[in-house]
Amino acid sequence: MLNNPLLPTAYLAPISYYAILLQHPNYSVEVHEHFIKQSIRNRCEIYGANGKLRLSIPKERKGSSKTIIQQLKISYKQNWQKEHWNAIVSAYNSSPFFEYYKDELQAIFEEKEDYLVVFNSKLQNIILDLLQEENTSKTTTEYLHKGDFYDLRNHNWETENQEKYNQVFMEKHGFIPNLSILDLLFNLGPESSDYLHNLDISTEI
């Protein structure tokens, strides 16, 4: 078992991230680091009709790039929530379990949450509820470079060794591993939890 995994906050995190949450409930989420661009903190990847599709939450611009992530505000200059939800619908409308889960997820895309970490946390709570898993999430109280934890804050979250499951556009583009947890949930439904508990994450970390 991993010793106290320390994870970044994540927007609709990849499948391997959720495998760690379920297999290692002693995890914590870092909220005192500086924001890191082009990472799972504010973006996710889904399986669209043309293959992998990246969705990014825009942030409010500040003079300094060194914003503590707990203080990072979401920008609503563009209607990114509508764009993201429409992309999710387009990608997964024909998946086996979209109808079962869409209402709870759509509701949060209609709220205007100020802070990224709060929005991510609310989404994580919904996902864990849909997975019918206990939420054991803790957040950090300060930034530590080293400590009694397994540091996954800068992990790249890329894997090729993932057990295949049926994906909506698989016949077109083949199996794409480690997409957002949404891909697993909409395609496997109630079997998602077992899949995550059984996923071999030792090769990734």
Q: Is the separation of the CB atoms in 41 and 116 below 8 Å? A: yes
Query: What's the average model confidence in pLDDT over 134-159?
Result: 93
Residue 183 lies in a domain: yes
Q: Which domain does 13 fall in, by range? A: 5-198
Residue 45 falls within a domain, yes or no? Answer: yes
Location of structure tokens 């054991």: 136
CA distances from 15 to 93, 145, 201 (A): 20, 26, 10
**What's the CA gap between 204 and 158, in Å, rounded?**
8
- Percentage above 90 pLDDT, the chain: 87
**In whole angstroms, what separates CA 126 from the centre of its chain?**
11
pLDDT at 159: 80
Q: Is residue 20 part of a domain?
A: yes
In a domain, 139, yes or no: yes
Instruction: Look at the block and give the residue holding tokens 């994906």.
Output: 167
What does the longest C-alpha to C-alpha distance in the chain come to?
47
Residue 205: inside a domain, yes or no?
no
Q: 97 in a domain, yes or no?
A: yes
Q: Is residue 204 part of a domain?
A: no
Burial of 142 (0-12, 13-18, 19+ CB in 10 A): exposed
Task: Establish if 37 belongs to a structural domain.
Answer: yes
**Residue found under tokens 């300094």:** 64
DSSP annotation string for 92-156: HTTSTTHHHHHHHHHHHTTS--SBHHHHHHHHHHHHHHHTT------B-SS--SSSSSEE-TT--
- Please tell me whether the overall predicted TM-score, pTM, comes out greater than 0.85 for this model: yes
pLDDT band at 4 (very low <50, low <70, confident <90, very high): very high
Q: For the chain, what is the domain count? A: 1
- Indicate if the pLDDT at residue 63 is higher than 90: no
pLDDT > 80? residue 5: yes
